[in-house]
């Protein structure tokens, strides 16, 4: 029996059909390892890099266990940002088609009356931000006595001082035999320790970053002086204006870059932790629709983002470490994506040495490119073009 067949045979027909429609080649490592412990009602502490299929890893077995005849929520998924909650909600909607299951999402700032209307429809599974979920529990609008599973999605962003008390209260509102699942791209020893205190002998799943880097993704790099990197990005976008997510290290750099590109009439959207809800939604909407093919973001702001068929990731500022390189690069060529994607690193000569070390550790092939005559060329192509001239 193949890995795919054994993985999917555990589920009800509506999930099997959705898997078939998705045309995924096979379950990822984190998915294959998650089914049994979740189905056995064990707590799970899972670390798996960006783009490795974490959402479906916990969602499919959780959906399998839901009782469609129930009148109260049976599973609650908590996430730290509005964007991530809505993304999870959208995935749930996709995967419950053909079943009698119902879902709802709850975020701060949304219309309170409309949110209460959603609860009257008796959702079986809900996703929400911790503050909003706790508010509904305290209002006695959201009843938690039948909740058997709580998921902390991108758990390292939830188990932080500002959320700890809220999450603790949400968990306490459920029965003592509830199941707690934590899935995250990174897990510091401190986060792991805090999670373990809430859990009952959790099953630990850890997927190496080496397993998560997709071999189909093309890794290119261009050597540039630090001051010339933005110009290089502009040339890349003019040469091939495909949907591109570029990473910078801080808010100030993102704002300055956006101003310079706007001055050069290069359409750009930006995303950072100080972006307001409306600005954030507008930036993502324009980017997803292709109105602005370039989105520049900080690492914090891009956590949990799933942009379908993202064609290119650019490391405009060099990543702080190898994990950050993997998380950023994992945004393209994601599970279920129609495109394999490019990852372009703009590096100084010193950063080039570091990049080569990352590539060696991750077992990926790097291709050195140059910007020449408005095109992105390999060294060989540049020499050929030079001779033609």
Read off the pLDDT of residues 324-339 as tens digits, 9 standing for 90 and up: 888 888 778 665 555 5
pTM over 0.75: no
Mean pLDDT in residue range 301-305:
67
Q: Are residues 197 and 295 in the same domain?
A: no
- Residue 235, pLDDT > 70, answer yes
Q: What is the mean pLDDT of the chain?
A: 87
Residues 6+ apart with CB under 8 A from 37: 44, 203, 205
- Mean pLDDT over 306-332 rounds to 85
User: Domain end: 172, 187, 207, which one?
Assistant: 207
Most confidently predicted of 9-23, 159-173, 271-285:
159-173
Q: Give the whole-angstrom CA distance, residue 193 versus residue 354.
A: 31
Range of the domain at 14: 3-207
Q: Is the pLDDT of residue 292 over 50?
A: yes
Asked whether residue 229 falls in the same domain as residue 159, the answer is: no
Residues 298, 377: one domain? yes
Helix, strand, coil shares of the chain, percent, nearest 5, are 45, 20, 35
Same domain as 230, residue 188: no
Taking alpha carbons only, the member of 233, 267, 263 closest to residue 248 is: 233
* Structure-model confidence comparison of residues 166 and 379, the more confident one: 166
- Under DSSP, is residue 347 helix (H, G, I), strand (E, B) or coil? strand
pLDDT at 366 (0 to 100): 92
User: Angle, to 10 degrees, between the axis of helix 54-65 and the axis of helix 82-95?
Assistant: 50
List the CATH number of the domain containing 315.
3.40.50.300
In this predicted structure, what is the pLDDT of residue 277? Answer: 73
Question: Binning pLDDT at 50, 70 and 90, where does residue 304 land?
Answer: low
If asked whether residues 200 and 220 sit together in one domain, one would say no
**pLDDT one-digit tens code per residue, 99-117:** 999 999 998 877 778 888 8
Same domain (yes/no): 161, 263: no
Q: Encode pLDDT of 255-267 as tens digits.
A: 999 999 988 888 8
76 with 174, same domain? yes
Same-domain status, 187 and 317: no
- Residue 144 and residue 280 in one domain: no
Among 341, 366, 370, smallest CA distance to 356 is for: 366
C-alpha torsion 43→48→50→52, nearest 10:
-90
In the predicted model, what is the mean pLDDT of residues 186-201?
89
pLDDT value at residue 271: 86
- Domain end, chosen from 207, 240, 266, is at 207
93-97, 281-285, 290-294: which has the minimum mean pLDDT?
A: 281-285
- Say whether both 154 and 288 belong to one domain: no
Beta-carbon contacts of 386 under 8 Å, excluding residues fewer than 6 positions away, are 372
Q: Let me know whether 235 and 91 are in one domain.
A: no
Residues 119 and 41 placed together within one structural domain of the fold: yes
- Provide, rounded to the nearest whole percent, the portion of the chain with pLDDT above 70: 89
Into how many domains does the chain fold?
2
């Amino acid at each position: 029996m193949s890995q795919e067949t054994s993985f999917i045979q555990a589920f009800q027909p509506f999930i099997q059909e959705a898997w078939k429609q998705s045309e995924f080649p096979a379950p990822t490592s984190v998915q294959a390892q998650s089914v049994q412990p979740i189905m056995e009602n064990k707590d799970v502490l899972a670390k798996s890099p960006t783009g490795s299929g974490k959402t479906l890893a916990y969602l499919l077995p959780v959906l399998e266990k839901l009782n469609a005849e129930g009148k109260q929520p049976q599973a609650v998924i908590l996430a730290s940002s509005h964007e991530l909650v809505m993304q999870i909600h959208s995935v749930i909607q996709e995967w419950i088609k053909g079943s009698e299951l119902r879902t709802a999402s709850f975020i701060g700032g949304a219309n309170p009356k409309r949110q209460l209307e959603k609860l009257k429809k008796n959702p079986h599974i809900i996703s929400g931000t911790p503050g909003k979920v706790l508010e509904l529990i305290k209002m006695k609008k959201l009843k938690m006595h039948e909740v058997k599973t709580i998921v902390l999605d991108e758990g390292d962003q939830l188990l932080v001082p500002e959320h700890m008390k809220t999450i603790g209260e949400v968990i306490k509102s459920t029965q003592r035999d509830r199941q707690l699942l934590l899935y995250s791209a990174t897990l510091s020893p401190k986060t792991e320790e805090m999670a373990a205190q809430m859990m009952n002998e959790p099953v630990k799943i850890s997927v190496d970053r080496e397993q998560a880097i997709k071999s189909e993704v093309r890794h290119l790099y261009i050597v540039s002086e630090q001051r010339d990197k933005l110009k290089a990005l502009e040339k890349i976008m003019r040469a091939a204006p495909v949907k591109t997510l570029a990473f910078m290290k801080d808010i100030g750099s993102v704002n300055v870059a956006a101003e310079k590109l706007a001055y050069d009439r290069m359409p750009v959207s930006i995303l950072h932790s100080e972006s307001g809800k409306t600005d954030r939604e507008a930036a993502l909407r324009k980017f997803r629709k292709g109105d602005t093919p370039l989105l520049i973001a900080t690492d914090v702001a891009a956590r949990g983002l799933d942009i379908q068929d993202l064609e290119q990731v650019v490391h405009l500022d060099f990543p702080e470490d190898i994990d950050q390189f993997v998380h950023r690069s994992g945004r393209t060529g994601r599970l279920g994506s129609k495109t394999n994607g490019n990852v372009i690193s703009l590096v100084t000569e010193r950063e080039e040495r570091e990049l080569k070390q990352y590539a060696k550790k991750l077992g990926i092939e790097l291709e050195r490119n140059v910007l020449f005559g408005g095109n992105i060329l390999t060294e060989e192509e540049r020499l050929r073009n030079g001779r033609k001239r």
